[in-house]
Amino acid sequence: DAGITQSPRHKVTETGTPVTLRCHQTENHRYMYWYRQDPGHGLRLIHYSYGVKDTDKGEVSDGYSVSRSKTEDFLLTLESATSSQTSVYFCAISETLPGGAYTFGSGTRLTVV
């Protein structure tokens, strides 16, 4: 693997609680991304980062926030979890843009009950 880990791998949480997912990389790549995967929708971009403290929104950013205080860590926070945020969350890294090849983490399966 390219040195990208996600934690936790599985989580069950209650509606209304905050949840933080972590993505950690050891590749010193500049770009990091959070995607969610849902049946019938493929992978959709939530937020991405192009450097420390530099982040931007993707197509499905409502209800999510991110932070990147170090190159190696990119955190995704669900401010108040809802059932519609039940999904599989993937983190990805890329060294360069344009044209950088993406490497994905193993995913976090989040269930909001």
Partner 1 sequence: GIQVEQSPPDLILQEGANSTLRCNFSDSVNNLQWFHQNPWGQLINLFYIPSGTKQNGRLSATTVATERYSLLYISSSQTTDSGVYFCAVEEGGSEKLVFGKGTKLTVNP
By CB under 8 A, name the binding residues for partner 1.
31, 33, 35, 40-45, 48, 50, 56, 58-59, 88, 90, 97-104, 106-107
Dist. CA 32–CA 74, nearest whole Å: 7
List, in order, residues 6 or more apart from 42 with CB less than 8 Å away: none
Hey, CA dihedral for 38, 45, 55, 99, is it positive or negative? positive
CA distance 10 to 28: 26
User: Minimum Å distance from CB 67 to partner 1?
Assistant: 18
Q: Which lies closer to partner 1 via its Cβ, residue 8 or residue 18?
A: 8
Nearer of residues 50 and 77 to partner 1, judged by Cβ: 50
Q: Indicate the residue among 85 and 94 with the shorter CB distance to partner 1.
A: 94
Identity of the residue, 3 or 58, whose beta carbon is nearer to partner 1 in the bound complex? 58
In angstroms, give the least distance from the CB of 16 to partner 1. Answer: 27
Under a CB-based contact definition with an 8 Å cutoff, are residues 106 and 7 in contact? no
